[in-house]
Amino acid sequence: MAENEIPLRVANTLLNALKGGVVPRTGLGHITVGRKDEIDALLHDVETITVGGATFRFVVGKYGAGKSFLLQTIRNYSMDKGFVVMDADLSPERRLVGHKGEGLATYKELMKNISIKAAPNGGALSILLQRWINALKTDVIKNGATDDEQINKQVEIKIHEIIDELETIVHGFDFARIISLYWKSCVNEDDDLKSKTLKWLRGEYSTKTEAKNELGVGIIITDDDWYEYIKLFAMFAVKAGYNGMLMLIDELVNIFKIPHSVSRQYNYEKILTIYNDIMQGKASHLGVIMCGTPQCIEDARRGVFSYEALKSRLENSRFSDDNVRDLLSPIIRLKVLTPEEMYILVEKLSLIHAQVYSWSPTVSLADLEIFIKTEYSRVGAETNITPREIIRDFIEILNIIYQHREKTMQSILGGDSFEFATNNETDEQIHEEFKGFEI
Protein backbone atom coordinates (compact mmCIF):
# COMPACT_ATOMS: atom_id res chain seq x y z
CA MET A 1 0.00 0.00 0.00
CA ALA A 2 1.33 3.41 -0.95
CA GLU A 3 2.11 5.79 1.87
CA ASN A 4 -0.75 8.14 0.97
CA GLU A 5 -3.32 5.38 0.48
CA ILE A 6 -5.93 4.36 3.00
CA PRO A 7 -7.45 0.87 3.42
CA LEU A 8 -9.55 0.10 0.35
CA ARG A 9 -12.60 -0.80 2.44
CA VAL A 10 -12.45 2.60 4.16
CA ALA A 11 -11.87 4.39 0.85
CA ASN A 12 -14.90 2.67 -0.68
CA THR A 13 -17.05 3.61 2.32
CA LEU A 14 -15.93 7.23 2.17
CA LEU A 15 -16.59 7.62 -1.55
CA ASN A 16 -19.96 5.86 -1.54
CA ALA A 17 -21.20 7.86 1.44
CA LEU A 18 -20.02 11.23 0.12
CA LYS A 19 -21.44 10.81 -3.37
CA GLY A 20 -24.71 9.75 -1.73
CA GLY A 21 -24.75 12.96 0.30
CA VAL A 22 -24.37 11.28 3.71
CA VAL A 23 -21.63 11.33 6.32
CA PRO A 24 -19.52 8.17 6.66
CA ARG A 25 -18.90 6.80 10.14
CA THR A 26 -15.34 5.69 9.43
CA GLY A 27 -12.32 7.28 7.79
CA LEU A 28 -13.27 10.89 8.49
CA GLY A 29 -9.72 11.75 9.49
CA HIS A 30 -8.63 11.21 5.88
CA ILE A 31 -10.89 13.99 4.55
CA THR A 32 -11.23 16.43 7.44
CA VAL A 33 -10.38 20.01 6.49
CA GLY A 34 -11.15 23.29 8.21
CA ARG A 35 -13.38 23.50 11.29
CA LYS A 36 -10.32 23.73 13.53
CA ASP A 37 -11.86 26.27 15.88
CA GLU A 38 -15.15 24.38 16.18
CA ILE A 39 -13.37 21.06 16.76
CA ASP A 40 -11.10 22.63 19.39
CA ALA A 41 -14.15 23.98 21.24
CA LEU A 42 -15.82 20.55 21.31
CA LEU A 43 -12.59 18.82 22.30
CA HIS A 44 -12.44 21.16 25.29
CA ASP A 45 -15.91 19.90 26.20
CA VAL A 46 -14.61 16.32 26.04
CA GLU A 47 -11.91 17.21 28.55
CA THR A 48 -14.51 18.83 30.82
CA ILE A 49 -16.61 15.66 30.76
CA THR A 50 -13.55 13.53 31.53
CA VAL A 51 -12.99 15.34 34.84
CA GLY A 52 -16.62 14.92 35.89
CA GLY A 53 -18.31 17.93 34.34
CA ALA A 54 -21.23 18.10 31.92
CA THR A 55 -21.64 20.14 28.73
CA PHE A 56 -24.42 21.14 26.35
CA ARG A 57 -23.98 22.45 22.80
CA PHE A 58 -26.04 23.29 19.76
CA VAL A 59 -24.22 22.95 16.42
CA VAL A 60 -26.01 25.14 13.88
CA GLY A 61 -25.55 25.21 10.12
CA LYS A 62 -27.42 25.00 6.85
CA TYR A 63 -28.21 21.69 5.17
CA GLY A 64 -24.95 20.24 3.90
CA ALA A 65 -22.80 22.71 5.85
CA GLY A 66 -21.04 19.96 7.81
CA LYS A 67 -23.03 19.57 11.05
CA SER A 68 -23.25 15.79 10.83
CA PHE A 69 -19.61 15.61 9.69
CA LEU A 70 -18.50 17.56 12.75
CA LEU A 71 -20.68 15.36 14.95
CA GLN A 72 -19.15 12.16 13.56
CA THR A 73 -15.64 13.57 13.93
CA ILE A 74 -16.19 14.26 17.64
CA ARG A 75 -17.94 10.90 18.00
CA ASN A 76 -14.94 8.99 16.65
CA TYR A 77 -12.46 11.05 18.68
CA SER A 78 -14.43 10.50 21.90
CA MET A 79 -14.59 6.74 21.44
CA ASP A 80 -10.83 6.67 20.94
CA LYS A 81 -10.55 8.55 24.24
CA GLY A 82 -12.51 5.90 26.13
CA PHE A 83 -16.00 7.40 25.92
CA VAL A 84 -19.37 5.76 25.51
CA VAL A 85 -21.24 7.48 22.67
CA MET A 86 -24.93 7.27 21.81
CA ASP A 87 -26.53 9.03 18.87
CA ALA A 88 -29.95 9.41 17.24
CA ASP A 89 -31.54 11.36 14.42
CA LEU A 90 -34.90 12.90 15.26
CA SER A 91 -37.80 12.20 12.91
CA PRO A 92 -41.62 12.48 12.94
CA GLU A 93 -41.61 9.26 15.00
CA ARG A 94 -38.69 10.25 17.24
CA ARG A 95 -38.86 13.44 19.27
CA LEU A 96 -37.80 14.45 22.76
CA VAL A 97 -41.31 14.01 24.13
CA GLY A 98 -44.68 13.08 22.63
CA HIS A 99 -48.10 11.71 23.48
CA LYS A 100 -47.50 8.54 21.44
CA GLY A 101 -44.15 7.59 22.93
CA GLU A 102 -41.98 9.59 20.51
CA GLY A 103 -39.58 10.54 23.31
CA LEU A 104 -39.16 6.91 24.35
CA ALA A 105 -38.56 6.06 20.68
CA THR A 106 -35.61 8.46 20.72
CA TYR A 107 -34.28 6.79 23.88
CA LYS A 108 -34.56 3.38 22.19
CA GLU A 109 -32.65 4.68 19.18
CA LEU A 110 -29.95 6.11 21.44
CA MET A 111 -29.57 2.80 23.28
CA LYS A 112 -29.53 0.86 20.00
CA ASN A 113 -26.71 3.09 18.76
CA ILE A 114 -24.52 2.91 21.89
CA SER A 115 -20.94 2.69 20.66
CA ILE A 116 -17.54 2.18 22.23
CA LYS A 117 -14.10 1.82 20.71
CA ALA A 118 -14.44 -1.97 20.59
CA ALA A 119 -17.86 -1.69 18.90
CA PRO A 120 -17.89 1.62 16.97
CA ASN A 121 -20.97 0.93 14.84
CA GLY A 122 -23.58 0.67 17.59
CA GLY A 123 -25.16 -2.24 19.43
CA ALA A 124 -22.56 -2.06 22.20
CA LEU A 125 -24.85 -2.24 25.25
CA SER A 126 -24.34 -5.94 25.97
CA ILE A 127 -20.65 -5.70 25.01
CA LEU A 128 -20.16 -2.81 27.43
CA LEU A 129 -21.80 -4.70 30.30
CA GLN A 130 -19.90 -7.90 29.59
CA ARG A 131 -16.55 -6.07 29.36
CA TRP A 132 -17.35 -4.43 32.70
CA ILE A 133 -18.01 -7.81 34.33
CA ASN A 134 -14.83 -9.24 32.82
CA ALA A 135 -12.81 -6.24 34.03
CA LEU A 136 -14.10 -6.75 37.58
CA LYS A 137 -13.16 -10.44 37.43
CA THR A 138 -9.68 -9.59 36.17
CA ASP A 139 -9.26 -7.08 38.98
CA VAL A 140 -10.17 -9.53 41.75
CA ILE A 141 -7.96 -12.22 40.25
CA LYS A 142 -5.04 -9.79 40.31
CA ASN A 143 -5.80 -9.22 43.99
CA GLY A 144 -5.38 -12.92 44.76
CA ALA A 145 -8.76 -14.57 44.20
CA THR A 146 -8.34 -18.07 42.77
CA ASP A 147 -11.40 -20.33 42.60
CA ASP A 148 -14.69 -19.37 40.88
CA GLU A 149 -16.66 -19.06 44.10
CA GLN A 150 -14.15 -16.66 45.62
CA ILE A 151 -13.95 -14.64 42.38
CA ASN A 152 -17.73 -14.35 42.10
CA LYS A 153 -18.08 -13.34 45.77
CA GLN A 154 -15.54 -10.53 45.47
CA VAL A 155 -16.98 -9.35 42.14
CA GLU A 156 -20.41 -9.20 43.76
CA ILE A 157 -19.00 -7.06 46.57
CA LYS A 158 -17.58 -4.62 44.01
CA ILE A 159 -20.87 -4.53 42.12
CA HIS A 160 -22.80 -3.76 45.30
CA GLU A 161 -20.41 -0.87 46.03
CA ILE A 162 -21.31 0.61 42.63
CA ILE A 163 -25.01 -0.13 43.10
CA ASP A 164 -25.10 1.55 46.51
CA GLU A 165 -23.85 4.80 44.93
CA LEU A 166 -26.43 4.67 42.14
CA GLU A 167 -29.34 3.95 44.49
CA THR A 168 -29.18 7.43 46.02
CA ILE A 169 -30.07 9.05 42.67
CA VAL A 170 -33.55 9.49 41.18
CA HIS A 171 -34.59 6.14 39.61
CA GLY A 172 -31.23 4.78 40.74
CA PHE A 173 -32.69 2.01 42.89
CA ASP A 174 -34.43 0.25 40.00
CA PHE A 175 -31.53 0.88 37.63
CA ALA A 176 -29.18 -0.68 40.20
CA ARG A 177 -31.57 -3.62 40.61
CA ILE A 178 -31.34 -4.30 36.85
CA ILE A 179 -27.53 -4.16 36.92
CA SER A 180 -27.57 -6.62 39.83
CA LEU A 181 -29.85 -8.96 37.86
CA TYR A 182 -27.53 -8.76 34.87
CA TRP A 183 -24.65 -9.90 37.08
CA LYS A 184 -26.83 -12.72 38.43
CA SER A 185 -27.58 -13.85 34.86
CA CYS A 186 -23.85 -13.97 34.12
CA VAL A 187 -23.06 -16.05 37.22
CA ASN A 188 -25.88 -18.51 36.55
CA GLU A 189 -25.37 -18.46 32.78
CA ASP A 190 -29.05 -17.54 32.46
CA ASP A 191 -29.40 -16.16 28.93
CA ASP A 192 -33.14 -15.59 29.36
CA LEU A 193 -32.65 -13.32 32.38
CA LYS A 194 -29.79 -11.53 30.64
CA SER A 195 -32.01 -10.86 27.63
CA LYS A 196 -34.75 -9.45 29.88
CA THR A 197 -32.38 -7.08 31.69
CA LEU A 198 -31.11 -5.77 28.35
CA LYS A 199 -34.70 -5.38 27.21
CA TRP A 200 -35.42 -3.24 30.27
CA LEU A 201 -32.34 -1.08 29.78
CA ARG A 202 -33.30 -0.52 26.13
CA GLY A 203 -36.73 0.76 27.22
CA GLU A 204 -38.61 -2.05 25.48
CA TYR A 205 -41.04 -2.97 28.25
CA SER A 206 -44.44 -1.46 27.47
CA THR A 207 -46.10 -1.96 30.88
CA LYS A 208 -44.97 -2.00 34.50
CA THR A 209 -46.89 -5.26 35.04
CA GLU A 210 -44.83 -7.03 32.39
CA ALA A 211 -41.57 -5.79 33.93
CA LYS A 212 -42.75 -6.72 37.44
CA ASN A 213 -43.67 -10.24 36.37
CA GLU A 214 -40.45 -10.91 34.48
CA LEU A 215 -37.86 -9.03 36.55
CA GLY A 216 -39.49 -8.06 39.83
CA VAL A 217 -38.96 -4.39 39.03
CA GLY A 218 -42.12 -2.30 39.29
CA ILE A 219 -41.02 0.59 37.10
CA ILE A 220 -40.15 1.04 33.43
CA ILE A 221 -38.47 3.73 31.36
CA THR A 222 -41.10 6.06 29.92
CA ASP A 223 -41.51 9.03 27.62
CA ASP A 224 -41.40 11.39 30.59
CA ASP A 225 -38.28 10.20 32.42
CA TRP A 226 -35.94 8.66 29.80
CA TYR A 227 -33.40 11.49 30.20
CA GLU A 228 -33.03 10.63 33.91
CA TYR A 229 -31.85 7.18 32.86
CA ILE A 230 -29.38 8.72 30.40
CA LYS A 231 -27.83 10.55 33.37
CA LEU A 232 -27.73 7.31 35.34
CA PHE A 233 -26.15 5.44 32.47
CA ALA A 234 -23.46 8.14 32.14
CA MET A 235 -22.57 7.67 35.80
CA PHE A 236 -22.60 3.90 35.42
CA ALA A 237 -20.34 4.13 32.35
CA VAL A 238 -17.72 5.88 34.45
CA LYS A 239 -18.04 3.20 37.16
CA ALA A 240 -17.53 0.65 34.39
CA GLY A 241 -14.19 2.18 33.48
CA TYR A 242 -15.06 4.68 30.74
CA ASN A 243 -14.19 8.37 30.81
CA GLY A 244 -17.69 9.70 30.19
CA MET A 245 -20.61 9.64 27.79
CA LEU A 246 -21.73 11.73 24.83
CA MET A 247 -25.33 11.97 23.67
CA LEU A 248 -25.57 13.24 20.08
CA ILE A 249 -28.94 14.27 18.63
CA ASP A 250 -29.18 15.33 14.98
CA GLU A 251 -32.00 16.65 12.79
CA LEU A 252 -33.44 18.99 15.40
CA VAL A 253 -35.37 20.49 12.47
CA ASN A 254 -37.97 17.73 12.97
CA ILE A 255 -39.13 19.51 16.13
CA PHE A 256 -39.37 22.75 14.16
CA LYS A 257 -41.61 20.90 11.66
CA ILE A 258 -44.13 19.71 14.28
CA PRO A 259 -47.41 21.30 13.15
CA HIS A 260 -48.96 21.68 16.61
CA SER A 261 -47.54 24.53 18.67
CA VAL A 262 -48.30 22.84 22.01
CA SER A 263 -46.32 19.72 20.98
CA ARG A 264 -43.40 21.90 19.87
CA GLN A 265 -43.43 23.76 23.17
CA TYR A 266 -43.35 20.49 25.14
CA ASN A 267 -40.27 19.44 23.17
CA TYR A 268 -38.57 22.78 23.74
CA GLU A 269 -39.42 22.45 27.42
CA LYS A 270 -37.59 19.11 27.40
CA ILE A 271 -34.56 20.79 25.85
CA LEU A 272 -34.74 23.44 28.59
CA THR A 273 -34.86 20.71 31.26
CA ILE A 274 -31.76 19.00 29.85
CA TYR A 275 -29.96 22.35 29.40
CA ASN A 276 -30.72 23.51 32.95
CA ASP A 277 -29.74 20.15 34.41
CA ILE A 278 -26.35 20.25 32.76
CA MET A 279 -25.62 23.92 33.35
CA GLN A 280 -26.60 23.69 37.01
CA GLY A 281 -24.31 20.72 37.62
CA LYS A 282 -27.06 18.15 38.18
CA ALA A 283 -25.46 15.81 35.62
CA SER A 284 -21.90 14.53 35.55
CA HIS A 285 -19.64 12.89 32.97
CA LEU A 286 -22.24 13.68 30.30
CA GLY A 287 -22.05 15.75 27.13
CA VAL A 288 -25.05 16.62 24.96
CA ILE A 289 -24.76 17.96 21.41
CA MET A 290 -27.83 18.82 19.32
CA CYS A 291 -27.67 19.79 15.65
CA GLY A 292 -30.07 21.91 13.65
CA THR A 293 -30.43 24.53 10.94
CA PRO A 294 -30.36 28.28 11.67
CA GLN A 295 -34.09 28.49 11.00
CA CYS A 296 -35.03 25.72 13.43
CA ILE A 297 -33.04 27.50 16.14
CA GLU A 298 -33.70 31.18 15.49
CA ASP A 299 -37.21 31.30 14.02
CA ALA A 300 -39.22 33.36 16.50
CA ARG A 301 -42.51 31.64 15.67
CA ARG A 302 -41.63 27.91 15.47
CA GLY A 303 -37.95 27.53 16.34
CA VAL A 304 -36.11 27.03 19.61
CA PHE A 305 -36.16 30.79 20.09
CA SER A 306 -39.98 30.73 20.12
CA TYR A 307 -39.58 29.36 23.64
CA GLU A 308 -38.67 32.48 25.55
CA ALA A 309 -36.86 30.69 28.38
CA LEU A 310 -34.48 29.12 25.84
CA LYS A 311 -34.09 32.26 23.76
CA SER A 312 -33.02 34.31 26.76
CA ARG A 313 -30.36 31.71 27.59
CA LEU A 314 -29.04 31.04 24.09
CA GLU A 315 -29.21 34.14 21.90
CA ASN A 316 -26.00 36.01 21.12
CA SER A 317 -24.97 38.99 23.16
CA ARG A 318 -24.53 42.33 21.46
CA PHE A 319 -20.74 41.87 21.45
CA SER A 320 -20.52 38.92 19.03
CA ASP A 321 -21.26 38.89 15.30
CA ASP A 322 -20.32 36.95 12.15
CA ASN A 323 -16.73 38.18 12.35
CA VAL A 324 -16.24 37.72 16.09
CA ARG A 325 -17.67 34.39 17.22
CA ASP A 326 -17.90 33.16 20.78
CA LEU A 327 -17.18 29.43 20.48
CA LEU A 328 -17.48 28.98 24.23
CA SER A 329 -21.20 29.84 24.13
CA PRO A 330 -23.84 27.07 23.96
CA ILE A 331 -24.39 27.62 20.22
CA ILE A 332 -21.65 26.91 17.66
CA ARG A 333 -22.56 28.36 14.27
CA LEU A 334 -20.73 26.82 11.33
CA LYS A 335 -19.17 29.21 8.84
CA VAL A 336 -18.83 28.46 5.12
CA LEU A 337 -15.57 26.67 4.33
CA THR A 338 -13.10 28.83 2.46
CA PRO A 339 -12.11 28.10 -1.17
CA GLU A 340 -8.64 27.17 0.06
CA GLU A 341 -10.07 24.55 2.45
CA MET A 342 -12.33 23.13 -0.25
CA TYR A 343 -9.36 22.93 -2.64
CA ILE A 344 -7.53 20.71 -0.15
CA LEU A 345 -10.65 18.56 0.25
CA VAL A 346 -11.21 17.95 -3.49
CA GLU A 347 -7.53 17.12 -3.86
CA LYS A 348 -7.96 14.43 -1.18
CA LEU A 349 -11.11 13.15 -2.93
CA SER A 350 -9.25 12.89 -6.23
CA LEU A 351 -6.68 10.59 -4.62
CA ILE A 352 -9.38 8.46 -2.97
CA HIS A 353 -11.31 8.15 -6.24
CA ALA A 354 -8.09 7.08 -8.01
CA GLN A 355 -7.47 4.41 -5.37
CA VAL A 356 -11.01 3.01 -5.39
CA TYR A 357 -11.22 2.71 -9.18
CA SER A 358 -7.51 1.96 -9.78
CA TRP A 359 -6.89 4.72 -12.30
CA SER A 360 -4.87 7.92 -12.70
CA PRO A 361 -7.29 10.85 -13.00
CA THR A 362 -6.36 13.29 -15.77
CA VAL A 363 -7.08 16.12 -13.38
CA SER A 364 -4.29 18.56 -12.71
CA LEU A 365 -3.91 20.94 -9.78
CA ALA A 366 -4.83 23.72 -12.21
CA ASP A 367 -8.06 21.84 -13.00
CA LEU A 368 -8.87 21.65 -9.31
CA GLU A 369 -8.35 25.39 -9.02
CA ILE A 370 -10.66 26.03 -11.97
CA PHE A 371 -13.30 23.77 -10.43
CA ILE A 372 -13.20 25.59 -7.09
CA LYS A 373 -13.34 29.00 -8.79
CA THR A 374 -16.33 27.81 -10.81
CA GLU A 375 -18.18 26.59 -7.74
CA TYR A 376 -17.53 29.76 -5.76
CA SER A 377 -18.50 31.96 -8.71
CA ARG A 378 -22.14 31.10 -8.34
CA VAL A 379 -24.42 33.90 -7.24
CA GLY A 380 -24.59 33.88 -3.44
CA ALA A 381 -21.88 31.22 -3.07
CA GLU A 382 -20.02 33.28 -0.47
CA THR A 383 -22.72 32.59 2.10
CA ASN A 384 -24.88 29.77 0.73
CA ILE A 385 -22.64 27.16 -0.89
CA THR A 386 -22.11 24.01 1.17
CA PRO A 387 -19.42 21.31 1.23
CA ARG A 388 -22.06 18.70 0.32
CA GLU A 389 -22.84 20.46 -2.98
CA ILE A 390 -19.19 20.84 -3.93
CA ILE A 391 -18.29 17.27 -2.97
CA ARG A 392 -21.14 15.75 -4.98
CA ASP A 393 -20.34 17.95 -8.01
CA PHE A 394 -16.67 16.99 -7.89
CA ILE A 395 -17.27 13.25 -7.49
CA GLU A 396 -19.74 13.37 -10.39
CA ILE A 397 -17.13 15.04 -12.60
CA LEU A 398 -14.54 12.42 -11.63
CA ASN A 399 -17.07 9.68 -12.43
CA ILE A 400 -17.72 11.20 -15.88
CA ILE A 401 -14.03 11.52 -16.69
CA TYR A 402 -13.38 7.96 -15.48
CA GLN A 403 -16.10 6.57 -17.75
CA HIS A 404 -15.41 8.90 -20.71
CA ARG A 405 -11.66 9.32 -20.93
CA GLU A 406 -11.94 11.83 -23.78
CA LYS A 407 -13.57 14.28 -21.38
CA THR A 408 -11.55 16.80 -19.38
CA MET A 409 -12.36 19.00 -16.43
CA GLN A 410 -12.38 22.10 -18.61
CA SER A 411 -14.63 20.56 -21.25
CA ILE A 412 -17.17 19.56 -18.59
CA LEU A 413 -17.05 22.89 -16.81
CA GLY A 414 -17.42 24.61 -20.17
CA GLY A 415 -20.60 22.69 -21.00
CA ASP A 416 -24.10 24.11 -21.06
CA SER A 417 -24.84 23.11 -17.50
CA PHE A 418 -22.00 25.29 -16.20
CA GLU A 419 -22.65 28.46 -18.22
CA PHE A 420 -22.78 31.69 -16.27
CA ALA A 421 -25.02 34.64 -16.93
CA THR A 422 -23.26 37.54 -18.62
CA ASN A 423 -23.90 41.25 -18.53
CA ASN A 424 -23.08 41.89 -22.20
CA GLU A 425 -26.69 42.63 -23.12
CA THR A 426 -28.02 46.08 -22.40
CA ASP A 427 -31.21 46.63 -20.44
CA GLU A 428 -32.89 47.74 -23.67
CA GLN A 429 -32.00 44.46 -25.43
CA ILE A 430 -33.33 42.44 -22.49
CA HIS A 431 -36.54 44.45 -22.39
CA GLU A 432 -36.94 43.99 -26.15
CA GLU A 433 -36.57 40.22 -25.85
CA PHE A 434 -39.26 39.93 -23.18
CA LYS A 435 -41.57 42.77 -24.20
CA GLY A 436 -44.32 40.33 -25.17
CA PHE A 437 -44.32 38.66 -21.79
CA GLU A 438 -47.18 39.60 -19.48
CA ILE A 439 -48.04 38.70 -15.92
Query: Tell me, what's the pLDDT at 286?
Result: 96
Can you give the pLDDT at residue 380?
A: 65
What is the domain partition of the chain in residue ranges?
1-34+337-419, 37-116+242-333, 126-215
Confidence label for 345 from pLDDT (cuts 50, 70 and 90): confident
DSSP character at residue 286: E
* Helix (H) and strand (E) counts in the chain: 20, 5
Is residue 50's pLDDT more than 60? yes
* 381 Cβ contact list (under 8 Å, min separation 6): 375
pLDDT at 402: 84
Mark residue 395 as left, alpha or beta (left: phi above 0; alpha: psi -120 to 50; beta: remaining).
alpha
Sign of the C-alpha dihedral, residues 297, 301, 302, 304? positive
Question: Above pLDDT 70, what percent of the chain?
Answer: 90
- Amino acid letter at 256? F
- CA 439, CA 429: separation in Å to the nearest integer? 20
Average the pLDDT over 2-23 and give the result.
Answer: 77
Angle between helices 172-187 and 125-142 (to 10 degrees): 70
Residue 372's pLDDT is 85
The predicted-structure confidence for 242-285, as pLDDT tens digits, reads as follows 999 999 999 999 999 999 999 999 999 999 999 999 999 999 99
For 280-315, write each residue's pLDDT tens digit.
Answer: 999 999 999 999 988 999 999 999 999 999 998 888
What pLDDT does residue 369 have? 86
Identify the band that residue 104 occupies on the pLDDT scale cut at 50, 70 and 90.
Answer: very high
Query: pLDDT value at position 309?
Result: 93
pLDDT-based confidence at residue 203 (cuts at 50, 70, 90): very high
Question: What's the average model confidence in pLDDT over 196-204?
Answer: 95
pLDDT, position 34: 75
pLDDT of residue 171: 84
pLDDT computed for residue 9 by the predictor: 84
Rg of the chain in Å (alpha carbons): 26
How many whole angstroms separate alpha carbon 9 and alpha carbon 1? 13
The dihedral of CA 26, 27, 29, 34: what is its sign? Answer: negative
Query: Which of the residue ranges 7-21, 227-241, 296-310 would you say has the lowest mean pLDDT?
Result: 7-21
Band of pLDDT at residue 165, cut at 50, 70 and 90: confident
How many CB atoms lie under 10 A from the CB of residue 142?
Answer: 8
Spatial distance between the Cα atoms of 99 and 102, rounded to a whole number of angstroms: 7
pLDDT digits (tens, 9 = 90+) for 113-156: 999 998 988 899 999 998 888 888 888 888 777 777 788 888 88
If DSSP codes are grouped into helix, strand and coil, which group holds residue 55? strand
The residues near 213 (Cβ < 8 Å, ≥ 6 apart) are: none
Segment 208-212 shows an average pLDDT of 93
With a cut of 50, say whether residue 212 has pLDDT above it.
Answer: yes
Q: What is the pLDDT of residue 422?
A: 41
37-116+242-333 is a CATH 3.40.50.300 domain = yes
Question: Residue 163: is its pLDDT beyond 80?
Answer: no
